[in-house]
Structure 1
Amino acid sequence: MSLFHAVVQLDHQKAQVLQFDADHVVAEKIKAHSHHTKQHGSAVRSEHEFFAEVCAALDGITEVLITGSSTAQADFRHYLEKHRPHQVKQVVGYETVDHPTEKQLIALARQYFLKHDRMAGVPTPT
C-alpha cells in the first residue's frame, strides 16, 4: 500500500518509515548493516547502502518528512542530493526530534503536513 504522506525517524543505525493517511498507518523498519573491515571507506559504503534502503522504502510516496538527529538528517540530505537527486523533491521538510514514540511521530507529521499542504495550496488527500 502506497500512501500520500510518510514520516521517517532516522539515525545512523536504523530508520522507521511510517506511511499514513487519515485512517491508516503502515510501518517499516530498516536497520543498517555494519561491515566491520579495515578497508578504507567501508563505513561510508555501509552508510550508503543503508540510505539506499531508506530511499527504496520511499519510492512512490509523494511527500516525506525526515526526523531525527540533525547529523543524521544532514548526512541523509547529502546522500539524496548526490546519489538520488530525483527523490530530493519528495522530502518536504526536516525536523530535529529526540526519540518520539510512533504515536508522537504520526501526530507531529500530521500536524506538519496539514500546515505544509495549506501553505502550498494543496488539498490533503483523504
Structure 2
Amino acid sequence: MTMFHAVVLIDHHQAQVLQFDAEHVQAEKIKARTHHTKQHGSAVRTEHEFYAVVCDALTGIAEVLVTGSHTALADFRHYVDKHRPALSPQVVGYEAVDHPSDRQLVALARQYFLKHDRMAGTPVPT
C-alpha cells in the first residue's frame, strides 16, 4: 500500500521509511550491506548502493520528509541531487533530528506536512 506522505530517518548504516495517512503507519527498515574490501572507494560504492535502495523505497510517494543527522542529510541530499534528480521534487524537506521514536517521527512529519501544505496553498483534508 503506497501512501501520499512518508518520513525517512536516515544515517549512514540504516534508514527507516514510515509511510502514513491519517489513520495508518507502514514501516520499512533498510540496512546498509557492509562488505569491506581493500579496493579504493569501496565504502563510497557501498554507501551509494544503500542510498539507491532507500530511493527505490520512496518510489510512488508524493511527498517525503527526510530526517537524520546533519552529516547523513547532507550526504543523502548530495546523492539524490547527483544520482536521482527525479526524486528531488518528491523530497519536500530535510530536518535534523536526534533519535526520535517512531511516534515522535510521525508526529513531526504530520506537523511538517500540515505547514507545508498550507504554505503551498494545498487544501488540507479535515
TM-score between both structures, scaled by the size of structure 1? 0.97
Matched to 2:93, the amino acid is G
- 1:40 corresponds to which residue? 40
Matched to 1:52, the amino acid is A
* 1:1-126 to 2 correspondences below 5 Å: 1-124=1-124
Q: Distance in 1 between matches of 2:117 and 2:65?
A: 12
Offset, 1:125: 5.3
Offset, 1:123: 2.2
Matched to 1:100, the amino acid is P
Offset, 1:122: 1.2
Identity of aligned residues (%): 75
SS at match of 1:65: strand
Offset, 1:124: 3.6
- Answer whether contact 1:4 1:125 (CA < 8 A) is retained: no
Q: Distance in 2 between matches of 1:55 and 1:123?
A: 27
Structure 1 residue ranges, 4+ long, deviating more than 4 angstroms after superposition: none
Offset, 1:35: 1.4
Q: Distance in 1 between matches of 2:121 and 2:33?
A: 40
Identify which range, 115-124 or 78-87, moves more after superposition: 115-124
Q: Which runs of 5+ in 2 are unaligned?
A: none
SS at match of 1:81: helix
Q: Distance in 1 between matches of 2:124 and 2:32?
A: 33
Q: Distance in 1 between matches of 2:3 and 2:75?
A: 25
Matched to 1:70, the amino acid is H
Q: Distance in 2 between matches of 1:56 and 1:124?
A: 27
Aligned length: 126
Q: Distance in 1 between matches of 2:24 and 2:124?
A: 14
Matched to 1:34, the amino acid is T
